[in-house]
Amino acid sequence: MTAHVQPTESPVAREFPEGLPLGDHWVEAPATEEVRFPYDGTLVAHAPVGDTGLAHHAVEAALAVREQVGRLPSHTRRAALLATHEAIADRRADFERLLVLETGKPLVDCRVEVDRTLLTLLTAAEEVARLHGETVPLDLLPSGEGLLGFWTRKPIGVVVGISGFNYPLLLAAHKLAPSLAAGCPAIAKPAPQTPLATLWLVHLLREALRAHGAPRAAVQLVTGGPEVGVALTTDRRIGAVSFTGSAAVGHRIARDAAPTKVLLELGSNAALVVAADADLDAAADAVVRGGYYASGQACISVQRVIVVDAVREEFVARLTERVARVAMGDPRDPATRVSALIDERSTERVCAWLDEAVEAGASLVAGGKVTDGVIEPAVLLDVDDALALWDEEVFGPVVAVRSVPDLETAFDMVNASRYGLQASVYTSALDTAFAALDRLEVGGVVVNEVPGFRSDVMPYGGVKDSGAGREGPRFAIEELTVTRMAVIRPTTTKP
């Protein structure tokens, strides 16, 4: 790791030099910053911190190899991704431990993150073989007679990938792997709180590229604050920006980066609807499983639970009984399901939102206290509209339950949000499932499973303020390539 890492806490060997991976080399960073374990504040590492000068350096290095990377043979891109997959698989226990230490997420969630990262790399490698075009029947009009038409997909150019703190390894993989598969140089910028796993991923990708005769500068990383992000995203020579984070920051990036293509995976306040005919045990289990994983720090964790009046009391009783059994504490313990949030400021914000909702008349029926720095999994009833806890993304272990007279009202309530990432409905009726698919204004509708379900091979993204564009290797590769049409009139050779 860069600079000092506590020997008792270090999950990795010193596999790479100090500094930042820029161009073909490691470049000394102008500063370092402490990364601390969110659960107890112990030092994990001193991480390199970049600046705008290094951001410009990364862009120049990426542009210098843009054509070379775009012409890399398919077998080279595929082999580099497969080699990175193998390298992470060999080190999975160390990656899991590192993720626990820098994010504070429970070990169970970090294990899932590594699993999903491996699938993302493998799927991106497989998609290299499916990156092709089609012929076009130009002779549908008489003017096209005798013409040959086909289109191919070409790399969009340099990609800037900015990811959030909650899944630093997986989110970076969803940006870097499709970029490389598409033939695009990529520059990663991890969240300042969690740079370590992304730094290690980039190192392994660069080593795999070098081993297969490709330039290391095809994948680079710059750390730093908002000014580094601005320097990267506002350079007009960038082909695309892929950002995962808050809606406010994403919207600002989209404005400042225009007309550069911007892919946004932003926030949400995911809803779960419980119909009168739902399996209430399964629905209550889903709220607990989907509301508190990653300590609630997931953009599609259950936040709003909308229950039909007929089953409200029975559902709430089953939910609160289950919430009381959720294990809290040290995220290194495999039994832990809820631990400390990323920092004290986040904990203070969530607690302030809880207090605001209670003062406005909501009933806190479970959790909500802070014990040893951990917010107890909370359940509130009857949170009003226009309160942050209902309208905004809480990003903490909190779910809010409201009841409605019927499903039509429930669907209207789901849609009465500026967000639209994913939502779910629990029902035993097929017509209700199809009604949800038709009515809910979200990027994904999940029936009888948590709204947080995401397979990394599916198209993933939102509508409204939840973003634009789609992730998942196949779909991200399409976003990061452009069609190039070929129209050919064969020449006639006279005998």
Catalogue the active-site residues: 265, 299
Asked if 393 and 267 count as a contact pair (C-beta separation under 8 A), the reply is: yes
Q: What does the DSSP assignment read for 125-168?
A: HHHGGG---EEE-GGGSGGGTT-EEEEEEEE---EEEE--SSSH
> What tokens does 357 get?
């909702």
Q: In the block, which residue shows the tokens 């370590």?
A: 196
Q: 214 vs 5, 15, 178, CA distance in Å?
A: 31, 20, 16
Residue type, 433: A
**What is the C-alpha separation between 99 and 105, in angstroms, rounded?**
7
> What tokens does 14 get?
């010193």
Distance from the first to the final alpha carbon of the chain: 70
User: Which run of H or E residues covers position 83?
Assistant: helix 74-90
Q: Using alpha carbons only, how large is the chain's radius of gyration in Å?
A: 24
Nearest by Cα to 263 from 350, 351, 171: 171
Asked if 456 and 472 count as a contact pair (C-beta separation under 8 A), the reply is: yes
Residue 30: half-sphere exposure toward Cβ, Cα within 13 Å:
10
